[in-house]
């Protein structure tokens, strides 16, 4: 049975110095009262705990590298000039997010069992799933050769065979000719994509070349309102359903070469509202749809462009809010299904008392799925948690 100290460390997300100090205190007490063989086993487990805590602390730091360096030259929060004039458009809904995956059937079955998503269509080449009445995903079957073979730094990691290749948001007001003209006058190259049944849209590229589709709300958004998804998969469920429902797009973790320029692009083009500029990232509110954290290089950093930075035009993970939420219950359900998990409170706080609560796990195709307690009504909890103005230390 794990010691009380080790059990507490497993549930803690602290900085590496606090973790090591906590272990030292526990070890000194237990050394006096515990047989030698048990001490060795416990010490081994505790070392693994410390490694896990250090890893989680680094992940928390990645939520905003300026959280503890606010006000330094590298974390300059000054605004830049807008990349172009505002369109005046408002984002009203999420039509869909598009993934490329090696095994679409397994990925879909996983999301259905864990997140409560339902299958709208399945033609063997792509699977469309409704995450709820607020958004859909498209899982496109893709050959394994299309994915890079870069080895993961994580032990026993599942190869990453899942990539977000684009997203589609609906806007208002909509007039196809006016939208096209507005895009062209801002130096963009719109490509029309219409289905002939009422859905109209244009594809454009953001500053890093990521595919952004802007639509009129007559695609999957309309379909979700018209009828429930009831298609089937060709594989069985991987395990018992959790019973969870996905209720909110907590955030897209969006990498950008120059995060300030990318923030300006989406704010001026689609009307997304910023929360705050942390110095390495900015969380934008996508109307009443959800949030996106745009993070990467800071063009006002004196060392901008030097050395390796975050890959631009990538979504390395997505966090979804679920219901019902129970902090210990969510972890237990993941463990029950043999899924890996790690705590993410963003600022390193212990999860039961943290402003922001979430767990990361991994899908069958290796995508980093984050499961959060955030909903529309608590959407700013993450922004508050990592806001350096709180004086986080």
Residue 3 has pLDDT above 60, yes or no: no
Same domain, 254 and 209: no
Same domain, 375 and 245: yes
Q: Is residue 156 part of a domain?
A: yes
Q: Is residue 233 part of a domain?
A: no
For the full predicted model, state whether its pTM sits above 0.85: no
Same domain, 250 and 376: yes
| Residues contacting 236, CB < 8 A, separation 6+ | 109
Considering 186, 203, 226, which residue would you say is the last residue of a domain?
226
User: What whole-number percentage of the chain has pLDDT above 90?
Assistant: 72
Read off the pLDDT of residues 93-107 as tens digits, 9 standing for 90 and up. Answer: 999 999 999 999 999
Residue 344 has pLDDT above 80, yes or no: yes
Read off the pLDDT of residues 199-256 as tens digits, 9 standing for 90 and up. Answer: 999 999 999 999 999 999 999 999 999 999 999 999 999 999 999 999 999 999 999 9
Read off the pLDDT of residues 56-86 as tens digits, 9 standing for 90 and up. Answer: 333 333 467 888 888 899 999 999 999 999 9
Q: Is residue 310 part of a domain?
A: yes
Residue 19 has pLDDT above 60, yes or no: no
Residue 151 has pLDDT above 80, yes or no: no
Same domain, 118 and 173: yes
Q: pLDDT band for 159, please (50, 70, 90 cuts).
A: confident
pLDDT at res. 32 = 35
Same domain, 268 and 132: no
Q: pLDDT band for 153, please (50, 70, 90 cuts).
A: low
CATH code for the domain of 163 = 3.10.180.10
Q: Is residue 159 part of a domain?
A: yes
pLDDT at res. 387 = 74
| Residues contacting 78, CB < 8 A, separation 6+ | 300
Phi-psi region of 336 (alpha: psi -120 to 50; beta: other; left: phi over 0): alpha
Same domain, 50 and 96: no
Residue 90 has pLDDT above 90, yes or no: yes
Number of domains composing the chain:
3
Same domain, 245 and 318: yes
Q: pLDDT band for 388, please (50, 70, 90 cuts).
A: low
Same domain, 251 and 292: yes
What integer best gives the mean pLDDT of the chain?
A: 85
Q: Is residue 234 part of a domain?
A: no
Q: Write out the DSSP string of 277-316.
A: E-SSEEEEEETTTEEEEEEE--TTSTTTTSS--PPTTEEE
Structure tokens at 334: 């993941």
Phi-psi region of 51 (alpha: psi -120 to 50; beta: other; left: phi over 0): alpha
Residue 43 has pLDDT above 50, yes or no: no
Of 33-42, 146-155, 321-330, the least confident: 33-42
Residue 46 has pLDDT above 70, yes or no: no
Q: Is residue 236 part of a domain?
A: no
User: What whole-number percentage of the chain has pLDDT above 70?
Assistant: 80
Burial track 172-209 (b if 16+ CB lie within 10 A, e otherwise): eebeeeebeebbeebebebeeeeeeeebbbbbbbbbbe
**Domain range for residue 386?**
73-82+241-390
């Amino acid at each position: 049975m794990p010691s009380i100290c080790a059990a507490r460390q497993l549930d803690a997300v602290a900085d590496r110095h606090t973790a090591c100090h906590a272990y030292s205190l526990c070890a000194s007490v237990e050394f006096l009262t515990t047989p030698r063989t048990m001490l060795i086993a416990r010490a081994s487990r505790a070392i693994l705990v410390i490694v896990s805590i250090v890893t989680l602390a680094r992940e928390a730091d990645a939520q905003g590298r300026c959280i503890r360096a606010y006000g330094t030259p590298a974390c300059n929060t000054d605004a830049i000039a807008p990349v172009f004039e505002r369109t005046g458009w408002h984002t009203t809904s999420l039509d869909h997010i598009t993934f490329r995956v090696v095994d679409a059937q397994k990925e879909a079955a996983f999301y259905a069992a864990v997140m409560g998503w339902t299958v709208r269509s399945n033609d063997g080449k792509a699977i469309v799933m409704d995450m709820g009445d607020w958004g859909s995903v498209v899982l496109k079957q893709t050959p394994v050769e299309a994915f890079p073979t870069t080895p993961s730094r994580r032990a026993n990691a599942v190869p990453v065979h899942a990539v977000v290749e684009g997203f589609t948001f609906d806007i208002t007001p909509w007039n196809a000719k006016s939208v096209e003209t507005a895009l062209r006058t801002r130096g963009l190259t719109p490509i029309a994509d219409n289905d002939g049944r009422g859905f109209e849209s244009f594809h454009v590229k953001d500053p890093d070349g990521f595919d952004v589709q802007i639509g009129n709300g007559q695609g999957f958004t309309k379909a979700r309102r018209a009828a429930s998804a009831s298609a089937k998969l060709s594989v069985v469920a991987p395990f018992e359903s959790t019973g969870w429902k996905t209720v909110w797009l907590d955030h897209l973790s969006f990498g950008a070469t120059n995060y300030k320029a990318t923030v300006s692009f989406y704010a001026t083009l689609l009307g997304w509202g910023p929360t705050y500029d942390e110095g390495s990232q900015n969380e934008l509110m996508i109307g009443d749809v959800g949030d996106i954290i745009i993070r990467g290089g800071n063009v006002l950093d004196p060392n901008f462009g030097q050395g390796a930075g975050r890959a631009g035009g990538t979504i390395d993970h997505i966090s979804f809010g679920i219901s019902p939420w129970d902090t210990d219950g969510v972890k237990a359900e993941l463990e029950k299904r043999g899924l890996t998990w790690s705590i993410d409170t963003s600022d390193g706080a212990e999860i039961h008392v943290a402003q922001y609560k979430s767990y990361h796990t991994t899908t069958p195709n290796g995508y980093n799925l984050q499961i959060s307690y955030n909903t529309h009504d608590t959407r700013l909890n993450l922004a508050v948690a990592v806001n350096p103005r709180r004086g986080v230390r």
